[in-house]
Amino acid sequence: MKPPPFAYARAGSVAEALELLADAGEDAKLLAGGQSLIPLLAYRLARPSHLVDIGRIPGLSDVATGPDGLRVQALVTHAALQSRADLTGPWRAVRECAGLIGHYPVRTRGTFGGSISHGDPSAELPVVALALEAEFVLRSPGGERLVRAEDFFAGPFMTVLEPTEMLVQARFPAAGAGRLSAFEEFSTRAGDFASAATAVALTPDETGRVHQVRIALGGVGPVPARAAEAEAALEGAPLDEAAIAAAARAAAADCRAGEDGALIPVLVERALRRIREER
Ligand SMILES: Cc1cc2nc3c(=O)[nH]c(=O)nc-3n(C[C@H](O)[C@H](O)[C@H](O)COP(=O)(O)OP(=O)(O)OC[C@H]3O[C@@H](n4cnc5c(N)ncnc54)[C@H](O)[C@@H]3O)c2cc1C
């Protein structure tokens, strides 16, 4: 089907994008990689009056790791994240999950900011952002605000983004020495959205016990969620088979009533075993 008619403008800077968005009113939408929005237009599930194209704004495609943590700007593509060999240890889950998003042509166009802002409950990046405790920098004509990943997703395809706001960057806080992470998902066919997914991060001490355990689940609820019982089950424990099994059982219990958490234990187990191998 053809998309419904809309006005189109290409922004050359974030300031111009925000101005165009504000001028166009509540029915305007930002267009980044178009990998979610264009299909919605084609199926007439979205009927924006204006599209503000941010896809070619310069200086918005950087990934940086340093003492302050990991910074990912809005227009970084999934393929760019997938190809970053330096995303290891605490950031490995970011690289791993980016490589599992759709097919390669989708990954070369789809952007980090687009995936997070779209708020698809089956998307991979929101799960990783939650486990790694990312904060999103949201810019509007009034200034900037920081929103933690855990406060950002409001429901399926709903976020706390205001119509005049643009996500410009994600900040993943500095990880202490030795921190490790992994991402696992199940999808029925390669390249499909995840039926279920998990991102895990933790820090082993010199005795092998693990601390600051963060486990996030995706695809099993309206928004990605932390698995609090699984985190508690593992906190301070050695990363042995008994502790891994206990965390996996607890993660299934963390899925809310009515959610299909059947795949979750095996995904949590796989992520934890891979982390143990990496130590
Ligand atoms: C065949 C196919 C398979 C796919 N498989 C997967 C998959 O397995 N996993 C997955 O997660 N995704 C998948 N996707 C979606 C894809 O990853 C998209 O790239 C992503 O969801 C949105 O990124 P985008 O840059 O294309 O955003 P767009 O489609 O341009 O925009 C999506 C939404 O986000 C808003 N938006 C975009 N950028 C910003 C910003 N910086 N600030 C505020 N709002 C913004 C737009 O207004 C729009 O509402 C698939 C898509 C296709 C076509």
Q: Which of 94, 101, 109, 223 to mutate to test ligand 1, by most ligand atoms within 8 A of the CB atom?
A: 101
pLDDT on residue 215? 98
Determine the Cα–Cα distance for residues 102 and 35; give it in Å rounded to an integer.
Answer: 10
pLDDT on residue 254? 87
β-partners of residue 93 are: none
Does the predicted TM-score (pTM) go above 0.85?
yes
Buried b (16+ CB within 10 A) or exposed e, 158-167: ebebeebbbb
Into which CATH architecture does domain 7-53 fall?
2-Layer Sandwich (3.30)
pLDDT on residue 64? 97
Those residues whose C-beta lies under 8 Å from the C-beta of residue 216, and which sit 6 or more positions away, are: 127, 128, 130, 131, 198, 199, 200, 224, 225, 226, 227
* Tokens standing for residue 16: 């111009």
Those residues whose C-beta lies under 8 Å from the C-beta of residue 257, and which sit 6 or more positions away, are: none
* pLDDT above 60: residue 257: no
Determine the Cα–Cα distance for residues 156 and 193; give it in Å rounded to an integer.
Answer: 14
Name the closest-CA residue to atom 4, ligand 1.
102
Supply φ then ψ for residue 130, to 5 degrees: -70, -45
Q: Cα(39) to centroid of ligand 1, in Å?
A: 10
**C-alpha of 261 from chain center:** 20
Name all residues whose Cβ lies below 6 A of ligand 1: 29-37, 39, 74, 101-102, 106, 110-111, 113-115, 117-118, 120, 123-124, 161, 166-167, 192-193
User: In CATH, what number does 63-172 get?
Assistant: 3.30.465.10
Over residues 104-135, the pLDDT tens digits come to 999 999 999 999 999 999 999 999 999 999 99
Q: Which of 6, 36, 165 to mutate to test ligand 1, by most ligand atoms within 8 A of the CB atom?
A: 36
37-51, 62-76, 83-97, 257-271: which range is least confident on average?
Answer: 257-271
Mean pLDDT value across the chain: 95
* pLDDT above 80: residue 33: yes
* pLDDT above 70: residue 168: yes
Over residues 89-107, the pLDDT tens digits come to 999 999 999 999 999 999 9
DSSP 3-state of 78: helix
Name the closest-CA residue to atom 53, ligand 1.
35
Residue spans per domain, the chain: 7-53, 63-172, 180-278
* pLDDT above 70: residue 239: yes
Name the closest-CA residue to atom 49, ligand 1.
118
pLDDT on residue 119? 97
Angle between helices 264-278 and 241-254 (to 10 degrees): 140
Are 52 and 98 contacting, i.e. CB atoms less than 8 angstroms apart? no
Determine the Cα–Cα distance for residues 107 and 38; give it in Å rounded to an integer.
Answer: 15
Determine the Cα–Cα distance for residues 251 and 259; give it in Å rounded to an integer.
Answer: 12
Q: Cα(19) to centroid of ligand 1, in Å?
A: 22
In this prediction, residues 172-186 reach a mean pLDDT of 95
**C-alpha of 149 from chain center:** 9
pLDDT on residue 278? 85
**C-alpha of 129 from chain center:** 5
Into which CATH architecture does domain 180-278 fall?
2-Layer Sandwich (3.30)
* pLDDT above 80: residue 260: no
Written as one string, the DSSP assignment of 223-270 is S-EE-HHHHHHHTTSB-SHHHHHHHHHHHHHHSPTTS--TTHHHHHHH
93-102, 206-215, 257-266: which range is least confident on average?
Answer: 257-266
pLDDT on residue 258? 59
Q: Which of 106, 125, 169, 188 to mutate to test ligand 1, by most ligand atoms within 8 A of the CB atom?
A: 106
6-20, 178-192, 236-250: which range is least confident on average?
Answer: 178-192
In this prediction, residues 250-272 reach a mean pLDDT of 86
Amino acid at 186: F
Where does the pLDDT of residue 189 fall: very low under 50, low under 70, confident under 90, or very high at 90 and above? confident
Q: Cα(107) to centroid of ligand 1, in Å?
A: 10
* pLDDT above 70: residue 184: yes
